[in-house]
Each structure stands twice: as structure tokens, then as C-alpha cells.
Amino acid sequence: MALLIWNNKFSVGIPSIDSQHMVLFESLNDLHTAMMKGNAQAVTKTLLRNLVAYTHDHFRSEEAMMAAAQYPGLAAHRAKHNALTRQVEDYAARYEKGEITLNIHLLNFLRDWLTTHIQVEDNEYGPWVKEHGGR
């Protein structure tokens, strides 16, 4: 069973960003599936690295789109991206050092982080970007 299932409540109304969010959902679901099947240790390092890398790419894409639309909340949104990135990178680094294991608490943190960020922060810029042509 998937940890996250995409539906329209996660849509920011910008197809390219929604597609990127779907990839993040898939990445998190891949981690969850690996853990549930008991082979998390074998694949988690790669999956976490991929999640961190894709998150960086996604945030850059969002920020470029907001800059093109001259979104007034860009600086604050970028600061949230930076804080979230540091948290995810910290978890990944701690995992790679053997300080933590992949567990449901980590997956729940990632799920909550992703869904809250999309439904709250990302939905703030969606209407502005659509109106001001930053797509």
C-alpha cells in the first residue's frame, strides 16, 4: 500500500509542478515499499540520495518559475525550501553514517513535510504564477 496517493487536493494548478510533485510522491512511496518488504537497507541509500537530488532540482525549478512571474513571496518561499532541504539532507546524512535507520517515523516526517509544503506553501504561489505567466 502506498504511503501517499496523489489526488487533486495536492495540485497547485501548474502541470509542470504537479508532475514534479508526483515524482516526489513516487520516490517516497518507493522508500515506503522498500521498508515494508524488508529490503530497505539494500536500496534506501540510493533512494534517499535520489530523493534529495530530485528535491533540489524541483526547488530550483519552482524558484525559477516564481522569479519569472515576479512572485513577491519568493524570498520567504526560498527560505522555507532551504530549511526543508537541510532537514532532509540531515536525515540522509545521519542514515548514511548509521546513526538512524529508515523507519516509519522518518517516512511520516517526509510524508508530512511534502504534503504540508504542497498544500500550504506551494498553493500560495500557484494563483500568482498562473496569473503572471511564470510557467
Q: Note the pLDDT tens digit of each residue in 72-99.
A: 999 999 999 999 888 888 888 888 888 7
* pLDDT for position 22: 93
pLDDT tier, 42 (very low <50, low <70, confident <90, very high otherwise): low
Cell numbers 525549478 correspond to: 61
Region 93-106: mean pLDDT is 78
Helix runs in 37-103, H state only: 40-68, 74-96
Is residue 8 in some structural domain? no
- Report pTM: 0.85
Question: 124: how many CB neighbours lie within 10 A of its CB?
Answer: 13
Burial annotation 17-37 (CB, 10 A radius, 16+ → b, else e): bbebbeebbebbbbbbbbbee
Q: Which position has the higher pLDDT, 105 or 64? A: 64
> Cβ contacts of residue 94 below 8 Å, gap of 6+?
100
Q: Do you know the residue count of the chain?
A: 135
- The whole-angstrom separation of Cα 40 and Cα 34 is 5
Is 116 inside a domain boundary? yes
| Domain annotation covers residue 7 | no
Average confidence score pLDDT of the chain = 86
Would you say residue 128 lies in a domain?
Answer: yes
Task: Summarize the confidence of residues 6-11 as an average pLDDT.
Answer: 92
- What is the domain count for the chain? 1
We report the CATH number of the domain holding residue 66 as 1.20.120.50
Structural domain that includes position 45: 13-132
- Which three cell numbers, joined as nine digits, stand for 35? 521498508
Measure the CA–CA gap between 58 and 20, rounded to whole angstroms: 7
Averaged over 2-7, what is the pLDDT? 90
Return the closest-CA partner of residue 84 out of 76, 65, 67, 96. 76
